[in-house]
């Protein structure tokens, strides 16, 4: 399923290929988030033109709306949303964290109140895997518990124990044809818990491994530490996935720490707030300084937005609340993320990753505003 093609001598960066039922994915890879069977503001044609290889769906949200009866009648998630390339579905475990006010953790899963109508529903290992089997995703994630980063040690320990137990239950469930399953390592920034969780999951022989419990409001150094604590215990011949991350600079730093896969709501989320990502950092396109700026969002960018529209025009659209403005920023940001990953793969292949990493990090300056938006966006 995962073929390791090359490693970087200056870091833990890896070049690989991930084979799924709906195609091969080149890694490192950024996966656009399509929570409700759609990447916000973008259509499948645009995603394909940008070079999107794989997208995400959300088990919890899709189960509530449109529901598995409709997905089943449509012939699975791929047919329902007209996406013929790979799909990864998360298990709903992140909602254990993000919907803390409307859920109750029990021994065999989590009892939720629907965020739509307040109706009672239960999601556990068996239910999460059954939903993902119906969705027919290429990669299904185990159901885990994701506690807050500042949870007391006892709570972190209990979450790891539940995560391990639930992973074993997930492992025993039937799968869709060709469906792979990834385990999720929890444990916060506790070295012993990360090691315990990783070793237990590796012993279960999953098809790949995710590092969870990151990007949940913790400071960036703690996020990096959590990945560093888990990575040494993950097998080199399996893909590694850091869930819910991050800015372009964060992804490059985590690639250097041995991570292969990323997903994040940031590109489209900040676009809807008028922010564009470039290799020099984040730009608030609504700012008055762009009123008479007739250059592209980013010089040299080959995305549709940059080749056809100016900052001045996009600012006008955003100020006028025209949908085209947020769509074009979504196009640019998603293209930028995908292009950075393409350039990273080329740098690893050419043996120039160290130089690429050094130059990118030196030039990239995310604004505090965008960082705060990231935290808010990925906590729900």
Catalytic positions? 90, 263
Give the residues across from 57 on adjacent strands.
89
Q: What whole-number distance in Å separates Cα of residue 380 and Cα of residue 378?
A: 5
E-strand ranges in the chain read 2-7, 14-20, 23-27, 29-33, 55-58, 87-90, 103-106, 109-113, 120-123, 139-141, 180-185, 208-211, 239-242, 261-264, 275-278, 281-284
Q: What whole-number distance in Å separates Cα of residue 8 and Cα of residue 23?
A: 25
Q: What whole-number distance in Å separates Cα of residue 286 and Cα of residue 154?
A: 46
CA atoms within 13 A on the CB side of 50: 31
Cross-sheet strand order for the sheet of 14-20: 2-7, 14-20, 23-27
Burial bucket for residue 276 (CB in 10 Å: 0-12, 13-18, 19+)? buried
CA torsion, points 225, 12, 239, 184, in degrees to nearest 10?
A: -10
């Amino acid at each position: 399923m995962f073929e390791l093609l090359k490693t970087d001598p200056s870091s833990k960066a890896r070049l690989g290929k991930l084979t799924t039922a709906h195609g091969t994915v080149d890694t490192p890879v950024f996966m656009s988030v399509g929570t409700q069977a759609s990447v916000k503001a973008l259509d499948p044609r645009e995603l394909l033109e940008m070079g999107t290889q794989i997208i995400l769906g959300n088990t919890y949200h899709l189960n509530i709306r449109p529901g598995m009866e409709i997905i089943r009648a449509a012939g699975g998630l791929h047919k329902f949303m007209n996406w013929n390339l790979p799909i990864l579905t998360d298990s709903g475990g992140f909602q254990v964290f993000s919907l803390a006010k409307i859920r109750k953790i029990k021994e065999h899963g989590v009892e939720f109140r629907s965020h739509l109508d307040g109706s009672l529903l239960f999601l556990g290992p068996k239910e999460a895997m059954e939903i993902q089997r119906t969705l027919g995703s290429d990669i299904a994630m185990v159901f885990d518990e994701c506690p807050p980063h500042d949870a007391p040690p006892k709570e972190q320990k209990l979450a790891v124990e539940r995560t391990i137990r639930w992973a074993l239950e997930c492992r025993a469930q039937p799968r869709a044809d060709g469906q792979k399953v990834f385990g999720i390592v929890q444990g916060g920034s506790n070295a012993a818990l990360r090691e315990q969780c990783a070793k237990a999951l590796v012993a279960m022989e999953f098809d790949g491994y995710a590092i969870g419990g990151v990007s949940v409001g913790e400071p960036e150094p703690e996020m990096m530490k959590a990945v560093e604590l888990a990575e040494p215990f993950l097998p080199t011949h399996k893909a590694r996935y850091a869930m819910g991350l991050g800015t372009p600079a964060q992804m490059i730093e985590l690639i250097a720490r041995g991570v292969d896969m990323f997903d994040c709501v940031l590109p489209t989320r900040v676009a809807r707030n008028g922010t564009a990502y470039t290799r020099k950092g984040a730009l608030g396109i609504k700012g008055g300084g762009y009123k008479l700026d007739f250059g592209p969002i980013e010089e040299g960018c080959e995305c549709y937005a940059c080749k056809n529209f100016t900052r001045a025009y996009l600012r006008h659209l955003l100020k006028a609340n025209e949908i085209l403005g947020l769509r074009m920023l979504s196009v640019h940001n998603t293209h930028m993320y995908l292009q950075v990953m393409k350039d990273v793969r080329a740098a690893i292949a050419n043996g120039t990753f160290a130089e690429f990493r050094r130059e990118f990090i030196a030039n990239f300056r995310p604004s505090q505003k965008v960082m705060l938006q990231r935290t808010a966006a990925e906590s729900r």
